[in-house]
């Protein structure tokens, strides 16, 4: 039979070759050592007989969108991604599973173990017993451990509360605390560290049987898959929620431990001995699988079936070998003659449909995020939907409107993301709204900064000498524009700066984007940069730097940290030599000297997450936890992605090959104000702290006022240095 199948696949392969069909597999690159695309995509293009080529995406959901719109034909997806794809059930198909063990029907199976001495004979006996739970896990998405499966057992057994005065997380913990006796469920319960400590103080019995109850974190001996089994076998619990494969390793077929006999507890309330050949399963996670469009599903399946048995697999330079390696992230593709829809595939796993149903607690509870563009709406909806697939709650609702600031002020939406460029406009027109979270960098040494950058050959000695020069700004009334006005005030160059100050101070100036042509005209360039130049949100400052390279400008107000990246974009269009780099530029400082080293005049966080004015304390905390949970799951963890699997969804960064439509450029992390206070910040003035001086209504004085020997800004810098290093 196998010989017949092999001959059939060879015949199909010959047909495909003659038809000159080339299918596109969607792959995601990474900067880590596990990037398979680096080695295996080139052979697909080099081999003339290859039937496949690589199409690249930023994350797995981007791959799904490429498959749906025809830019790609197929790709490999994890269970949660397949669940997400069920919304296009009429257009997509599952062709082949990617299994680690060909004879195992599912990735893993979850079971419940009980200590027979605890008197557990059925499900009704579970109340008041001690639970050993693997705990909350802060891992990478795609690793197979999500809230849906982690919390499945307790959501089936424990009556769930839905108290509107409590967050969903606290409702769940309160239900557990009242149902079980002293137990161990370690890890970070709430992504907000402050709320996590409050909850652990409030429900101490859920940490009481951990090895270190006062910490109850992911360093506990009873945390994790093996820890929950150790908790049971060391007599600290009566019930354990575990993977069947881990149970077989931990107990090695022996049902007796230091406490008593261990048995399986089944969903119907019956018990099974540890030596039963087919233990009862509560929920199973499906294997990763290949997704393609319906129109190409049969051909893709036949091609993969052929590749599985092709003799060319012995040749490490063949396209068949390369494709096989791209398909097997950590497993092997298996041959199949069944084509199913994503929903049919997901729901074939025992308990998975129920896990999704039980994963949505208090379904009427959700928080609305206001966005202003169609692209932002698409990204917001993708974030909301994939979060549901991972059991992240409550639901994020995406609201499209042309004026989010007004909607927020009127209390019609719960939150919005405010870029640093829009802070001044927002405060001027809608008042002050204290952020609930800040958009910042991963390691807290990167902030949005504004520097006065000049070509080194033209650089001046200080800010006063910029008077009469031609200035280039990214945006009228944005962070950079207003930061320079603030700098003029702090340096006593202008006592009451306003928009007319720019006309008086500079000979002429321009902005890449200007909504007020009377205040400043837009810079004029003969041609545009390549379309992908704004992929990382750098287009506007790249054009600002261009203004002093070829646009006749003298000084560009930009973030000097990115100069080399700006030059990489400009190098080809402007025919810049390879040795033209950051060393050709210098920054004008506020302390009577200039340097090629970064010398910012101000700094800011990349953006703020603002809540509506009348939001309740409970809702504010829950909304914060929701966003931090999403950040922990889909945000950036490290600068280099060394994970085995590619990212599922990129919360920050490009979306569909365009700049992030929701979060400000360079955002890598969301943090609370308390978390931010733990980190050292730049010495230069913080933009948000001084923006109020722009609202001074006193008349503008002449720009000819000389710089005082020791300016307010210099006093501020000295004070900060004394505070940081002498106290």
At 541, is the pLDDT very low, low, confident or very high (cuts 50, 70, 90)? very high
Residues 409-413: what's their mean pLDDT? 95
What is the per-residue pLDDT for 710? 37
What is the per-residue pLDDT for 137? 66
**129: its two tokens:** 């017993």
Average pLDDT, the chain: 86
Render pLDDT for 603-612 as a digit per residue (tens, 0 to 9): 999 999 999 9
Only one residue has tokens 């000084």, namely: 555
Render pLDDT for 128-141 as a digit per residue (tens, 0 to 9): 999 999 987 665 56
Instruction: Report the C-alpha gap between 289 and 133 in whole angstroms.
Output: 29
Closest CA to 210 of 231, 226, 233, 196: 231
Residues 535-543: what's their mean pLDDT? 87
Instruction: Report the C-alpha gap between 579 and 644 in whole angstroms.
Output: 37
448-604 fold: D-Maltodextrin-Binding Protein; domain 2 (3.40.190)
Residues 157-181: what's their mean pLDDT? 94
pLDDT at 108 over 90: yes
pLDDT at 387 over 90: yes
Only one residue has tokens 């008086």, namely: 504
Count Cβ atoms below 10 Å from residue 568 Cβ, excluding itself.
Answer: 15
For the domain 366-443+605-638+645-691, what is the CATH code?
A: 3.40.190.10
Residues 615-621: what's their mean pLDDT? 93
What is the per-residue pLDDT for 252? 79
Phi, psi of 101 (to 5 degrees): -125, 115
Give the start-to-end residue ranges of the domains of the chain: 23-104+287-355, 108-285, 366-443+605-638+645-691, 448-604
| H-state helical runs in 410-538 | 423-430, 479-490, 499-505
What is the per-residue pLDDT for 5? 47
Render pLDDT for 571-612 as a digit per residue (tens, 0 to 9): 988 999 999 999 999 999 876 445 555 788 999 999 999 999
Instruction: Report the C-alpha gap between 291 and 296 in whole angstroms.
Output: 10
Equal CATH topology for 23-104+287-355 and 108-285: yes
Higher pLDDT, 726 or 496: 496
491, containing H or E segment: none
With a pLDDT cut of 90, the percent of the chain lying above it is 64
CATH architecture of 108-285: 3-Layer(aba) Sandwich (3.40)
At 713, is the pLDDT very low, low, confident or very high (cuts 50, 70, 90)? very low
What is the per-residue pLDDT for 107? 93
What is the per-residue pLDDT for 664? 94
CA angle (416, 417, 422) in 5-degree steps? 110
Residues 16-28: what's their mean pLDDT? 77
User: Using the 8-state DSSP alphabet, how is residue 641 labeled?
Assistant: -
Residues 685-704: what's their mean pLDDT? 67
Contact (Cβ atoms closer than 8 angstroms) between residue 30 and residue 59: no
Sign of CA dihedral 660, 661, 665, 669: negative
Render pLDDT for 415-462 as a digit per residue (tens, 0 to 9): 999 999 999 999 999 987 789 999 998 866 678 999 999 999 999 988
Pairing of strands 395-400, 366-371: parallel
Q: Which of 27-41, 105-119, 286-300 has the lowest mean pLDDT?
A: 27-41
What is the per-residue pLDDT for 658? 87
At 699, is the pLDDT very low, low, confident or very high (cuts 50, 70, 90)? very low
Instruction: Report the C-alpha gap between 290 and 78 in whole angstroms.
Output: 9
Instruction: Report the C-alpha gap between 400 and 676 in whole angstroms.
Output: 30
What is the per-residue pLDDT for 336? 85
For the domain 23-104+287-355, what is the CATH code?
A: 3.40.190.10
At 727, is the pLDDT very low, low, confident or very high (cuts 50, 70, 90)? very low
Render pLDDT for 213-250 as a digit per residue (tens, 0 to 9): 999 999 999 999 999 999 999 999 999 999 999 999 99
Higher pLDDT, 294 or 35: 294
What is the per-residue pLDDT for 138? 61
3-class secondary structure, 189: coil
Higher pLDDT, 312 or 406: 406
Render pLDDT for 466-518 as a digit per residue (tens, 0 to 9): 999 999 999 999 999 999 999 998 888 887 888 888 888 998 899 999 999 99
pLDDT at 725 over 60: no
Instruction: Report the C-alpha gap between 126 and 134 in whole angstroms.
Output: 18
Q: Which of 135-139, 269-273, 400-404 has the lowest mean pLDDT?
A: 135-139
What is the per-residue pLDDT for 652? 95
**714: its two tokens:** 């210099």
| Range among 88-97, 354-363, 521-530, 634-643 rated most confident | 88-97
Q: Quick one: angle between helices 168-179 and 193-202, nearest 10?
A: 30
Render pLDDT for 50-101 as a digit per residue (tens, 0 to 9): 999 999 999 999 999 999 999 999 999 999 999 999 999 999 999 999 998 8
pLDDT at 382 over 80: yes
**121: its two tokens:** 């004979």
| Range among 153-162, 590-599, 717-726 rated most confident | 153-162
What is the per-residue pLDDT for 715? 40
| Range among 380-384, 507-511, 668-672 rated most confident | 380-384
Q: Burial-class residue 623 by CB neighbours within 10 Å (0-12, 13-18, 19+).
A: buried
What is the per-residue pLDDT for 139? 54
3-state secondary structure 597-649: CCCCCEEECCEEEEECCCCCHHHHHHHHHHHHHHHHHHCCCCCCCCCCCCCCC
At 127, is the pLDDT very low, low, confident or very high (cuts 50, 70, 90)? very high
Residues 559-570: what's their mean pLDDT? 91
pLDDT at 638 over 80: no
């Amino acid at each position: 039979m196998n010989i017949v199948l092999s001959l059939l696949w060879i015949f199909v392969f010959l047909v495909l070759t003659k038809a000159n069909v080339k299918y596109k597999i969607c792959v995601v690159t990474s900067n880590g050592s596990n990037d398979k695309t680096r080695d295996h995509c080139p052979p697909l293009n080099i081999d003339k007989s290859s039937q496949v080529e690589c199409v690249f995406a930023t994350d797995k959901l981007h791959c799904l969108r490429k498959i749906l719109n025809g830019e790609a034909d197929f790709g490999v997806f994890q269970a949660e991604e397949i669940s997400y794809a069920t919304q296009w059930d009429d257009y997509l198909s599952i062709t082949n599973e990617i299994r680690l063990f060909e004879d195992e029907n599912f990735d893993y199976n979850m079971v419940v173990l009980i200590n027979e001495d605890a008197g557990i004979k059925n499900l009704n006996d579970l109340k008041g017993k001690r639970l050993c739970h693997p705990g909350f896990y802060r891992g990478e998405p795609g690793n197979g451990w999500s809230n849906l499966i982690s919390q499945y057992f307790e959501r089936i057994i424990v009556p769930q509360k839905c108290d509107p005065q409590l967050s969903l997380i606290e409702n769940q913990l309160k239900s557990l605390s009242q149902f079980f006796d002293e137990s161990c469920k370690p890890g970070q319960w709430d992504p907000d560290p402050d709320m996590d400590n409050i909850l652990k103080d409030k429900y101490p019995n859920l940490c009481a049987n951990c090895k270190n109850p006062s910490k109850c974190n992911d360093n506990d001996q009873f945390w994790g898959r093996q820890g929950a089994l150790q908790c049971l076998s060391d007599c600290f619990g009566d019930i354990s929620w575990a993977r069947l494969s881990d149970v077989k390793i931990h107990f090695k077929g022996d049902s007796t431990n230091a406490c008593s006999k261990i048995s399986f507890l089944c969903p119907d309330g019956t018990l099974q001995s540890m030596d039963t050949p087919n233990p009862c399963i509560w929920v199973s996670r499906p294997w990763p699988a290949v997704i393609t469009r319906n129109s190409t599903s049969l051909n893709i399946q036949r091609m993969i079936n052929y590749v599985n048995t092709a003799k060319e697999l012995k040749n490490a330079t063949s396209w068949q070998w390369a494709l096989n390696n791209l398909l097997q992230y950590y497993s092997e593709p298996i041959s199949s003659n069944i084509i199913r829809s994503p929903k049919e595939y997901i729901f074939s796993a025992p308990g998975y449909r129920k896990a999704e149903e039980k994963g949505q607690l208090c379904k009427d509870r959700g928080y609305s995020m206001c966005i202003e563009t169609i692209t932002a709406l698409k990204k917001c909806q993708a974030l909301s939907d994939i979060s549901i697939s991972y059991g992240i709650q409550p639901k994020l609702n995406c609201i499209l409107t042309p004026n989010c600031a007004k909607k927020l002020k009127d209390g019609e939406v719960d939150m919005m993301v405010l870029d640093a460029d829009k802070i001044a406009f927002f405060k001027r027109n809608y008042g002050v709204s204290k952020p609930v979270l800040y958009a910042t960098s991963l390691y807290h040494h990167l902030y949005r900064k504004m520097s006065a950058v000049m070509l080194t050959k033209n650089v001046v000695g200080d800010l006063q000498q910029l008077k009469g020069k031609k200035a280039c700004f990214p945006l009228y009334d944005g962070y950079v524009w207003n930061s320079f006005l603030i700098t003029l005030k702090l340096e006593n160059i202008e006592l009451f700066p306003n928009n007319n100050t720019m006309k008086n101070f500079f000979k002429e100036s321009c902005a890449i984007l200007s909504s007020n042509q009377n205040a400043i005209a837009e810079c004029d360039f003969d041609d545009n940069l390549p379309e992908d130049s704004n992929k990382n949100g750098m287009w506007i400052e790249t054009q600002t730097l261009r203004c002093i390279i070829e646009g006749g400008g003298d000084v560009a107000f930009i973030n000097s940290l990115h100069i080399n990246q700006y030059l990489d974009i400009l190098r080809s269009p402007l025919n810049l030599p390879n040795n033209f780099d950051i060393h050709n530029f210098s920054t004008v400082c506020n302390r009577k000297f200039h340097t090629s080293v970064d010398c910012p005049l101000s700094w800011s966080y990349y953006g703020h997450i603002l809540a509506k004015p009348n939001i309740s304390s409970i809702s504010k905390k829950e909304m914060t936890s929701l966003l931090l949970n999403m950040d922990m799951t889909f945000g950036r963890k490290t600068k280099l992605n060394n994970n085995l699997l590619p990212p599922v969804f990129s919360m920050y960064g490009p979306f569909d090959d365009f700049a992030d439509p929701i979060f400000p450029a360079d955002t890598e992390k969301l943090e609370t104000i308390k978390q931010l206070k733990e980190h050292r910040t730049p010495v230069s003035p913080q933009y948000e702290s001084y923006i109020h001086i722009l609202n001074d209504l006193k008349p503008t004085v002449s720009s000819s006022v000389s710089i005082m020997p020791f300016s307010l800004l210099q006093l501020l810098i000295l004070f900060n240095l004394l505070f940081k290093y002498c106290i």
